[in-house]
Chains A and B, each alone.
Chain A
Amino acid sequence: MKASNSLWREQPIESPFPELMREIEIYETEIELRKQGKIDEKLFAETRLRRGAYGQRYDNGQRWDGKETQTLPFPSSATELTKGVNTVWDAPGMQRIKVPFGGMNPEQLEVMAELAEEYSDGIAHVTTRQDFQLHFIHVDDTPALMRRLAAVGITTREACGNSVRNVTACPLSGVCSTESFDVTPYAKGLAYFLLGHPDVQDFGRKFKVAFSGCKDEACGLVNMHDMGVIAIKRTENGVEKRGFELYVGGGLGTVPHQAKLFDEFLPEEELLPTAQAISRVFARLGEKKNRNRARIKFLVAQLGIEEFKRLVLEERATLPQDPRWTDYLSEIHELDEKPLRPAHSLNGTPRSEAFDRWYKTNIFHQKQQGYATATVTLPLGDITADQLRALADISRRFTNGTVRTTVDQNIVLRWISEADLPEVYAALEVIGLGQPGAGTIVDITSCPGTDTCKLGISASRGLAGELRQRLAEKSHAMDEAVQNLHIKVSGCFNSCGQHHVADLGFYGVSRHSGNYTVPHFQVVLGGEWTHNAGSYGLAMGAVPAKRIPEVVERLTGRYVSEREKNETFKAFVQRIGKVQVKTMLDDLTKIPAHEEDPTLYTDWGDSREFTIGDMGVGECAGEIVTHAEFGLAAAERQVFEAQVFLDQHEYQKAGETAFASMQKAAKTLVEEQFYDVPNDPDRIAAEFRTRFYDTKLFWDEYAGGKFGHYYLRAHEKANEPYTPEEAHRRVEEAQLVIEAAHSCYRKLLAAKSSPKQLLGI
């Protein structure tokens, strides 16, 4: 744990989002409560997940060392302190950092560099959702890390857990000639509208949103999202209107679903309220118990898109008006990026051969004449702290700091005057980031796999790295049709590497051979990256991990020699058929005995004999913690804060905070019956009295209505000053009210499963 953690708490950090700082204080208190055993491990797990603090491989305190499974004796193992079910407190974890639409500036890159150095292993990792991830982080360091991010306007809130994940968007939004309009402000508007919104706190699973500026290109990958929007313009009565083609219910995972069209033209002013209504329907009707069927795609499939739409529109009609739905529309042009340097073409500038190779694959000509976007290819999405700082400098030198991360795990620099491209390339070369091949077969996407993920079966990064190295060596001599193929690798069937939408996709599986387990990859062919992830590939069979390069060699070789004119890889695979493909790969699937070839019994980049024994329980799904459980936990945190104020002799604050905790508990219960209860103290008290006090629902078997009375009396005296004695008493009462609220909530739950019980029948 860092010695400076407490110092960061005292730093006067000015965040563009002050509410983020309060959010971090709350999280820090929750860490303290967990250490004191006052928060259940399951609830704490979901709490930290909703702050992006994720588990990592071996955090159950066990690791296979190639010969035996070793127990890792973390100091906290002695006290049995956990940060989730079977998750050791001291075990390193991963911190996911949300980057809405991938948009970053140089200051943010620099802070990312500092955090990678000081808290992680010196590497920042760009994910397939435009996030950053830092690995090997101690949970005690996460509040300080979050404070430093908040200082530059970045939040980790709801980066993991059953929440709205990072909102992604095409990294070329605003500069692409095929787009209808720039989706950036809409992606930003929706991301911050839904961030922490009460209506997205009670999902059974995560919810992913993507924006695309056009329909045909790949960048937005709308079809594989829970909610995807494509920019559309329509002329009505001679007036051009902006809107969106709206899709819902897409997703990859073990059972991939193509999203269904919800609306052909959703006017821009309806985007946020419709997203809110969708969230409400998902929270209300989505599966909560079986996490394998809890994504919205299952709800849409179960109800049918028409019924789902009817329910959403019905919900939309009942939503209380919110000015934020449209406030941001008046500011959408404030996000418009401007170039730093005047537009000049590249004509006549001397160019090296290396520059030309890079220029061919890594440069996108913007719709703004004379400007280009350069893709900085990051091997496996990894970038060092030094490279991040240098990239910040390059972006300042040639642009107005217009940087975005991409779902291909790269970074783009936008608004470069074309005449500057040779200098940009030279600067990138110096820091080892001038590799060509963006968007080609060497630009392989991979999830973390067995390197750090608890669910990983095979080493996706190991395989991706090996393929990348082999293919890069001969890429310039490759047939162009092969160069333009996409390879994507996942460590398991959960598709974080997006293998379904690659020409050649692979996901980790295992097979038994004798007394051994052999790492394999399932071969998935013919997915479509273009048309917003237009179609998914089909599994062709599992091949030992070490033979996957040979699979790539054979398939691409045959494609080159037998493809018909302009035939895509997908069409080629369909034409030759699954049987032919299986025949081609059949000999590769045979596993020789361990004595004959032990190399097949290890995985790429990992010398240990292979096992699947290191797999743990994933946290992708988060824990199912209800809205009410969160509410009651928040009330408990407040009463803890009130106790701290008492200790500090701040009696007025102690009394007020204790009352606030009672009110939070009461409101939480009221919301179980009246979800939209306004945040008005008188109304909350009135609703509580009618629904829980007068009905005796809140009454204790022995104490009767005493605890409810504590709250109602405290409400009446809420504006009176507190003497030390009264403050003490209020804190004591608050604790009892919260206990009673827990008890009442248990009664409500029991009544849901057996309504007669509530009526005392």
Chain B
Amino acid sequence: MNLQHINIKFYLENPEAVDLAEYSTVFNSWIQQKRLQGLLIDVADYLHVHHGPGIMLIGHEADYSLDNRAGRLGLLYNRKEQLEGTNPEKLAQAVLAALTAAQILERENGLKFIGSEVQVIVNDRLLVPNTVESFDALEPDLQTFFTRLYDGAEHTLAHLNNPRERFTVNVKTESRFDVDTLLKNLSVEAAHA
């Protein structure tokens, strides 16, 4: 199964302390300074929308947002352009991009992300239908990748089997991980890949 258009969401530890309105300026400065890989185009403000995409940094290859879907604030990476490689490699690319953005927000803006919980969404219903069969087909790749990301720590993959929603898996580990550690684990993984 060809995994494309991967979405990765890392949740914030202290959402109530975040003034999202400030992040329009922050994301605009990222465009100015070309802080991330890929072409960054514009900032979109959806703070007026209930449980919406919050503040978005629109890119060509991918969008980033401080997203409040389902009432849980976090950093969402939405890969739009297609990727080459195996499924674990594509997962690594998406998670690496999300963590890189998260690390900047932690270091420069005082945000704190929960490293031990990740939401994975495949933003293409036809490519990867949200079915048990899709989960069965992708589970080995997901296990492979998250075993490496969590450095072998025990973790669970919970498939949200709702046919109206996109293919969604919540990944959780009881061990504590921060963004820096995950990035370190990923760079080891990248070296192995």
Binding site for B on A (CB under 8 A): 1-4, 7-8, 11, 57-58, 63, 65-67, 70, 72-75, 90-92, 110, 114, 117-118, 121-123, 135-136, 138, 379-380, 382-384, 386-387, 389, 431-433, 451, 462, 465, 468-469, 605-608
For A114, the closest partner residue in chain B by CB is B125
Q: Are A90 and B52 in contact (CB under 8 A)?
A: no
Q: Are A389 and B123 in contact (CB under 8 A)?
A: no
Query: Closest 5 CB pairs between A and B?
Result: A432-B50, A607-B25, A3-B4, A4-B126, A379-B48
Q: Are A384 and B52 in contact (CB under 8 A)?
A: yes
Q: Are B5 and A2 in contact (CB under 8 A)?
A: yes
Q: Are A121 and B125 in contact (CB under 8 A)?
A: no
Chain B CB within 10 Å — which of A380, A431, A607 has the most? Answer: A607
For A602, the closest partner residue in chain B by CB is B25
Q: Are B32 and A386 in contact (CB under 8 A)?
A: no
Evaluate whether A1 and B82 lie within 8 angstroms (CB atoms) in the complex, with A65-B31, A433-B50, A468-B48 already known: yes
Q: Are A3 and B82 in contact (CB under 8 A)?
A: yes
Q: Are A118 and B124 in contact (CB under 8 A)?
A: yes
Q: Are A121 and B63 in contact (CB under 8 A)?
A: yes
Chain A CB within 10 Å — which of B45, B125, B126, B127 has the most? Answer: B126
Q: Is there a chain A Cβ closer than 8 Å to B41's Cβ?
A: yes
A596-B1 Cα distance, complex, nearest whole Å: 60
Name the interface residues of B66-123: CB closer than 8 Å to any CB of A.
69-70, 80-82, 123
Q: Is there a chain A Cβ closer than 8 Å to B192's Cβ?
A: no
A379-B47 Cα distance, complex, nearest whole Å: 10
For B25, the closest partner residue in chain A by CB is A607
A72-B124 Cα distance, complex, nearest whole Å: 27
Q: Are A384 and B44 in contact (CB under 8 A)?
A: no
For A113, the closest partner residue in chain B by CB is B164
Report chain B residues within 8 Å CB of A91.
41
Evaluate whether A432 and B46 lie within 8 angstroms (CB atoms) in the complex, with A8-B126, A58-B41, A386-B69 already known: no
Evaluate whether A72 and B39 lie within 8 angstroms (CB atoms) in the complex, with A7-B127, A382-B48, A607-B25 already known: yes
Report chain B residues within 8 Å CB of A431.
50-51
For residue A150, give the distance in angstroms from its CB to the closest CB of chain B: 15
Q: Are B49 and A382 in contact (CB under 8 A)?
A: yes
Q: Is there a chain A Cβ closer than 8 Å to B173's Cβ?
A: no
Interface segment, one of B8-16, B53-61, B133-141: B53-61
A432-B70 Cα distance, complex, nearest whole Å: 11
Report chain B residues within 8 Å CB of A465.
45, 48
For A76, the closest partner residue in chain B by CB is B60
Report chain A residues within 8 Å CB of B125.
4, 114, 118
Binding site for A on B (CB under 8 A): 2, 4-5, 24-25, 28, 31-32, 39, 41-42, 44-46, 48-53, 56, 58, 60, 63, 69-70, 80-82, 123-127, 164, 166
Evaluate whether A386 and B28 lie within 8 angstroms (CB atoms) in the complex, with A3-B124, A121-B63 already known: no
Please give 17 more A-B residue pairs, beta carbons under 8 A apart, in addition to A2-B4, A469-B48.
Answer: A1-B82, A3-B124, A11-B126, A65-B28, A65-B31, A66-B28, A70-B31, A92-B41, A118-B124, A121-B56, A121-B58, A122-B53, A138-B80, A379-B49, A382-B46, A387-B50, A605-B45
Report chain A residues within 8 Å CB of B56.
121
Report chain A residues within 8 Å CB of B127.
2-4, 7
A118-B123 Cα distance, complex, nearest whole Å: 6
Report chain B residues within 8 Å CB of A135.
44
A462-B24 Cα distance, complex, nearest whole Å: 12
Report chain B residues within 8 Å CB of A66.
28, 32
A117-B78 Cα distance, complex, nearest whole Å: 10
In the complex, 15 of the A-B residue pairs with CB atoms within 8 angstroms, ordered by the A residue number, are A1-B81, A3-B4, A4-B126, A8-B126, A63-B31, A66-B28, A70-B32, A72-B41, A118-B124, A121-B44, A122-B52, A123-B53, A380-B48, A433-B50, A451-B44
For residue A143, give the distance in angstroms from its CB to the closest CB of chain B: 14
A57-B44 Cα distance, complex, nearest whole Å: 12
Report chain A residues within 8 Å CB of B166.
117-118
Report chain A residues within 8 Å CB of B82.
1, 3
Report chain A residues within 8 Å CB of B41.
58, 63, 72, 91-92
Q: Are A607 and B24 in contact (CB under 8 A)?
A: yes
A61-B74 Cα distance, complex, nearest whole Å: 30
A67-B25 Cα distance, complex, nearest whole Å: 13
Q: Are A384 and B49 in contact (CB under 8 A)?
A: yes
Q: Are B51 and A386 in contact (CB under 8 A)?
A: yes
For B52, the closest partner residue in chain A by CB is A384
Q: Are A123 and B52 in contact (CB under 8 A)?
A: yes
| A contact patch SS | mixed
Q: Are B164 and A110 in contact (CB under 8 A)?
A: yes
A203-B139 Cα distance, complex, nearest whole Å: 56
Report chain B residues within 8 Å CB of A121.
44, 46, 53, 56, 58, 63
A469-B47 Cα distance, complex, nearest whole Å: 11
Q: Are B123 and A117 in contact (CB under 8 A)?
A: yes
A135-B49 Cα distance, complex, nearest whole Å: 16
Report chain B residues within 8 Å CB of A389.
164
For residue A91, give the distance in angstroms from its CB to the closest CB of chain B: 8
For A378, the closest partner residue in chain B by CB is B49
For residue B162, give the distance in angstroms from its CB to the closest CB of chain A: 10
For residue B27, give the distance in angstroms from its CB to the closest CB of chain A: 9
For residue B4, give the distance in angstroms from its CB to the closest CB of chain A: 4
Q: Are A384 and B42 in contact (CB under 8 A)?
A: no
Report chain B residues within 8 Å CB of A123.
46, 49, 52-53
For residue A107, give the distance in angstroms from its CB to the closest CB of chain B: 12
For residue A427, give the distance in angstroms from its CB to the closest CB of chain B: 13
For B26, the closest partner residue in chain A by CB is A607
Chain B CB within 10 Å — which of A122, A123, A380, A606 has the most? Answer: A122
Report chain A residues within 8 Å CB of B45.
451, 462, 465, 605
For residue B184, give the distance in angstroms from its CB to the closest CB of chain A: 31
Q: Are A136 and B58 in contact (CB under 8 A)?
A: yes
Q: Are A65 and B53 in contact (CB under 8 A)?
A: no
For A382, the closest partner residue in chain B by CB is B49
For residue A9, give the distance in angstroms from its CB to the closest CB of chain B: 11
For residue A276, give the distance in angstroms from its CB to the closest CB of chain B: 40
Chain A CB within 10 Å — which of B4, B28, B50 has the most? Answer: B50
For residue B85, give the distance in angstroms from its CB to the closest CB of chain A: 13
A384-B70 Cα distance, complex, nearest whole Å: 11
Given A57, A92, A432, which contacts B51 in the complex, CB threshold below 8 Å?
Answer: A432
For A90, the closest partner residue in chain B by CB is B60
A379-B42 Cα distance, complex, nearest whole Å: 21
Q: Are A608 and B63 in contact (CB under 8 A)?
A: no
For B123, the closest partner residue in chain A by CB is A118
Report chain A residues within 8 Å CB of B52.
122-123, 382, 384
A716-B76 Cα distance, complex, nearest whole Å: 63
Chain B CB within 10 Å — which of A117, A380, A433 has the most? Answer: A117
Report chain B residues within 8 Å CB of A138.
80
A8-B124 Cα distance, complex, nearest whole Å: 11
A3-B81 Cα distance, complex, nearest whole Å: 8
A384-B67 Cα distance, complex, nearest whole Å: 12
A54-B87 Cα distance, complex, nearest whole Å: 34
A468-B49 Cα distance, complex, nearest whole Å: 13
For B127, the closest partner residue in chain A by CB is A4
Report chain A residues within 8 Å CB of B123.
117-118
A608-B43 Cα distance, complex, nearest whole Å: 11
Report chain B residues within 8 Å CB of A462.
45
Q: Are B31 and A74 in contact (CB under 8 A)?
A: no
Q: Are B42 and A58 in contact (CB under 8 A)?
A: yes
Given A3, A117, A387, which contacts B2 in the complex, CB threshold below 8 Å?
Answer: A3
A75-B38 Cα distance, complex, nearest whole Å: 10
Report chain B residues within 8 Å CB of A451.
44-45
Given A57, A380, A469, A606, which contacts B24 in the complex, CB threshold below 8 Å?
Answer: A606
Q: Are B24 and A386 in contact (CB under 8 A)?
A: no
Q: Are A4 and B32 in contact (CB under 8 A)?
A: no
Q: Are B58 and A92 in contact (CB under 8 A)?
A: yes
Report chain B residues within 8 Å CB of A433.
50
Q: Are A384 and B53 in contact (CB under 8 A)?
A: yes
A7-B2 Cα distance, complex, nearest whole Å: 13
For B33, the closest partner residue in chain A by CB is A65
Report chain A residues within 8 Å CB of B5.
2-3, 118
A474-B12 Cα distance, complex, nearest whole Å: 32
